[in-house]
Amino acid sequence: MILDKFPAIDDFYQNYWGKRAFVVRGAIESSVFEGLIDGDELAALSLEEDVRSRIISTLHDDDGDEARGAWDCKHGPFSPEDFDGLGTRDWSLLVQNVEQYHTETAALLNAFNFAPRWLMDDIMISYSATGGSVGPHTDSYHVFLVQGQGRRRWRVGQSALRQAQMIKNDKHLVLQDGFVGESYEVEMGDVIYIPPHFAHEGVTLEPAMTFSVGFLGPKISELMVEYGQYLEQQDDAANPRYVGQNLNAQSAGRCIDGAAVSTIKDALGAALEGAGFAQWLAQYFSLPTHADRDDVSARSDDALDKNELEKVLQNGAKFACAPFAKAALITDGTKQIQDMALYGEKVALDGAMRALISDLESGSVLSWDMAEAHGGWAKIGGFVTALYNKYYLEEV
């Protein structure tokens, strides 16, 4: 399905999110790509020890034909020599979490503010030689495939495949059988949205870069484990012990009767209804996905104190939300901000601070005049300085 532009927000969630794939031609202006990572920088990033990267190559039989299900997958970190023998065809380099390592690339995220940014996992980028492909596959997450340089041909399934048979080759999964789908040829600025479990396959027509913006939620079991660990750190009021209250003769011996089951279920439900659950969710969804938060959540050499930042603003500097910052907000039914977390830590808010964050999240740029309008530097200066030093704000 080819659309003229991204759907309106209500239309997107009602008719497309998780339901239907679509293509938008020219959705991203070519000027946006000028500040994003290029192929050489991507290759250099894959040499780093803490960066997750893969090189996937298509294998061929003795006649030079593509072997069925034959993909070679090597994991980084790589060395320059690893690229020397790849040749000019049939391979792809994939690097994950690029927005956290090359923060200029995070500017691409500004095009996806209609999507649930708090569920965003990462920007994975592939550089592919002609013929490069990772094979037909499905993913468990939502993804927007943004075409950068070059051209690729994609085939996209029409519905979710939840019981598909897979071939596992060196930790790389591809579909065992073919799938029915539409084919699209994309070039710079085109975007494909693919819901979870929709089969898709891309083949590079000329050397190309694809920016995959992925949105992935945790399993319920993961949430339960993480919330349980959070409760373990709370006081007895928030984390009471089950002591067998309201038992009767039906629970004698080894019998757990229905009333006891209901009591325990009610206790678990009460824990979820606790005042701290929403704030914990914000902290959970603001945690970085690729590194220890101490490595990414605080400035060092370029940190400013309150007086220094005041002078910078008075001299005309302006700041906006950093698109790469890991933040999450809890809002009510009218989108009024209730709680905020940044890199897994609670951010204390009062009325003026909530109004400021609301404006910044709506795309407003922080200037000296705007700071004055939100209560003046004496009131919000410390808060703004903390946001800057925790990478929530960047100069524009």
Q: What is d(CA 215, CA 193) in angstroms, rounded to the nearest whole number? A: 11
Instruction: Answer yes or no: are the C-beta atoms of 212 and 126 closer than 8 Å.
Output: yes
How high is the pLDDT of residue 291?
A: 56
Closest CA to 395 of 317, 303, 304: 317
Instruction: Report whether pLDDT(365) > 70.
Output: yes
What mean pLDDT is predicted for residues 223-245?
A: 92
Confidence category of residue 293, pLDDT binned at 50, 70, 90: very low
Report whether pLDDT(166) > 80.
no
Average pLDDT over residues 127-151: 94
pLDDT at 322: 93
CA 222, chain centre distance (Å):
17
DSSP letter for each residue of 72-111: EEEES---HHHHHTS-SBSEEEEES-HHHHSGGGGGGGGG
Beta bridge mates, 331: 337
Chain-wide mean pLDDT for the chain? 91
Cα–Cα distance for residue pair 212/225, rounded to 1 Å:
29
Per-residue model confidence (pLDDT) at position 64 = 53
Angle, to 10 degrees, between the axis of helix 276-285 and the axis of helix 258-273? Answer: 70
CA distance 316 to 309: 11
What pLDDT does 274 receive? 82
The pLDDT of residue 213 is 97
Q: What is the pLDDT of residue 170?
A: 58
Token reading at 211: 């920016």
Q: For Cα atoms 373, 378, 384, give the angle at the middle one, nearest 5 degrees.
A: 75
Q: Is 72 a residue whose pLDDT tops 90?
A: no
> Tokens representing 23?
């293509």
CA 53 to chain centre: 16
| SS3 category, 57 | strand
- 234 and 283 Cβ atoms separated by less than 8 Å: no
**Residue 383: per-residue pLDDT:** 95
Q: What would the pLDDT profile of 80-136 be if each residue is shown by its tens digit?
A: 999 988 989 999 999 999 998 998 999 999 999 999 999 999 999 999 999 999 988
Query: Strand pairing of 142-147 and 151-160?
Result: unpaired
Cα(106)–Cα(52) distance, integer angstroms: 17
Question: Does residue 218 have a cis bond before it (omega within 30 degrees)?
Answer: no
| CATH no., domain 293-395 | 3.40.366.30
The phi-psi region of residue 316 (left if phi > 0; otherwise alpha if psi is between -120 and 50; otherwise beta) is: left
Supply the CATH classification number for the domain 2-215: 2.60.120.650
Domain boundaries along the sequence of the chain: 2-215, 222-276, 293-395
Report percent pLDDT > 90 for the chain.
76
H helix or E strand, kind and range, residue 394: strand 393-395
Mean per-residue pLDDT for 237-258? 91
Residue from 283, 290, 396 nearest 346 by CA: 283
Out of 44-58, 69-83, 99-113, 285-299, pick the least confident: 285-299
